[in-house]
Structure 1
Amino acid sequence: MFKRTLTAALLSFPLLASAATYTHIDSSKSQIQFHYEQMGVNMDGVFTGFNGNIHFDSADASKAKVQLHVQLNSVDTGSDDADAEVIKPEWFNAAAHPDAVFTATSIEVKADNEFEVVGQLTIKGHEQEIRFPATLNETENTATFTGSFSLLRGDYAIGEGAWSKFDIVANDIRVDFKIVATE
């Protein structure tokens, strides 16, 4: 009996040793990109300022806690004029709503290192539930989460007044992310 218990303990040791808990977001190695269409032309941009809280145990993803704050005035569209325009009240209204906030409400394992994430995304005081697949890649004390989701800018009042129509700037926005976390 002792021999079987010892063997089971030794066999499970590598599984326990490889499990890690990630608690810090490394913003300098992470990236949030967005993609949209303007007048039929594909456009891209990034947010350079974001931070957040994470508590992700790779052995039990169901107990994960993630909250990410994206500073809307950190937008980089590749054009200084466009950057200045998009933080105005008609678009992000960054003065009144400086951050977009994502809070995960559940993370479900779908396959090895593949998850379905559900959470609340709040932009300009408008909150919507979003769900998307995410992939985890673990290397020495580092977890890299990648994924993509789509949103409708109209659901968040991004583009008000003359910009509330979708003939010049499309309603569909795709967000790609790479979030790097450490222990």
Structure 2
Amino acid sequence: MSSRLLRPAALVAALTLGASAWAHAVEYKRVNPTASQIAFTYTLMGARVYGTFGKFQAKLDFDSANPTAASAELTIELDSIDAGDSEANSELQKPAWFNTAVYPVATFESSSVKVLADNRYEVAGKLSLKGLTRNVRAQVTLKPQSAIGVFSGEFILKRADFKVGEGEWADYGIISNDINIKFRVVAPAQ
């Protein structure tokens, strides 16, 4: 085949593939809080402990055709913590821990999204907890499923960075400084 015939064929193929990729772009703008979850794990005297936050609001603006323009906001009601024991839940409301009387919520606001590969992203932003704000980065994976997108990710929160567990609870040999935060955000496709 001559190169004169290959050029138009290559152009048609490129346009067709480009149109096909564009047709598959999906936007996620609403979050289903009932299907979504924020969980955490930490070590207590050598044993792994699991917990969740039951109440949170999330905003999402994600377009698969332009993921670097995505944004996310999250507000967690700290008194909705379930650390697996009602006594522990009450203790975590106190000033040494979350001090929910003064700081009832934690917030996260994204500042950038970096595309990694295969529907994986690094989301950077600011986390505010107990009156302190720190930069955090989370690795996030998008799993499109039928008419929904499931965004799963995690990051390590350092208790010391936010003064969570002060005084007698500041000993990291009893309760780990590292708290592994995992989240699953479910959003319908638009």
Q: TM-score, normalised by structure 1?
A: 0.92
Give 5+ residue unaligned stretches, structure 2.
1-6
Is 1:86 aligned to 2:92, yes or no?
Answer: yes
Structure 1 equivalent of residue 133 of structure 2: 127
2:33 corresponds to which of 27, 31, 39:
27
In structure 1, C-alpha distance between the alignment counterparts of 2:169 and 2:9, rounded to whole Å: 72
2:88 match: secondary structure: helix
2:22 match: secondary structure: helix
Structure 1 equivalent of residue 3 of structure 2: none
Residue 13 of structure 1, CA deviation:
2.6
Residue 3 of structure 1, CA deviation:
8.7
Structure 1 equivalent of residue 78 of structure 2: 72
Residue 75 of structure 1, CA deviation:
0.4
Residue 152 of structure 1, CA deviation:
0.8
1:168 match: secondary structure: coil
Q: For the aligned residues, what is the CA RMSD?
A: 1.9
2:145 corresponds to which of 136, 139, 144:
139
Is 1:52 aligned to 2:43, yes or no?
Answer: no
Residue 167 of structure 1, CA deviation:
2.9
Structure 2 equivalent of residue 117 of structure 1: 123
Deviations 1:38-85 (A, max 9, x none): 112111101111112110111111101101111111101111111111
In structure 2, C-alpha distance between the alignment counterparts of 1:2 and 1:39, rounded to whole Å: 69
1:24 match: secondary structure: coil
Same amino acid, percent of matched pairs: 37
Structure 2 equivalent of residue 43 of structure 1: 49
1:12 corresponds to which of 11, 18, 37:
18
Where do 1:160-179 residues align within 5 Å? 160-179=166-185
Which amino acid letter does the alignment assign opposite residue 36 of structure 1?
Answer: Y
Give 5+ residue unaligned stretches, structure 1.
none
In structure 2, C-alpha distance between the alignment counterparts of 1:49 and 1:25, rounded to whole Å: 13
2:94 match: secondary structure: coil
Which amino acid letter does the alignment assign opposite residue 15 of structure 1?
Answer: A
In structure 2, C-alpha distance between the alignment counterparts of 1:63 and 1:168, rounded to whole Å: 42
Contact (CA 8 Å) 1:137, 1:143: kept in 2 or not? yes
Which amino acid letter does the alignment assign opposite residue 98 of structure 1?
Answer: P
- The number of residue pairs the alignment matches comes to 183
Which amino acid letter does the alignment assign opposite residue 106 of structure 1?
Answer: S
In structure 2, C-alpha distance between the alignment counterparts of 1:137 and 1:168, rounded to whole Å: 37
In structure 2, C-alpha distance between the alignment counterparts of 1:3 and 1:154, rounded to whole Å: 61
Which amino acid letter does the alignment assign opposite residue 26 of structure 2?
Answer: A
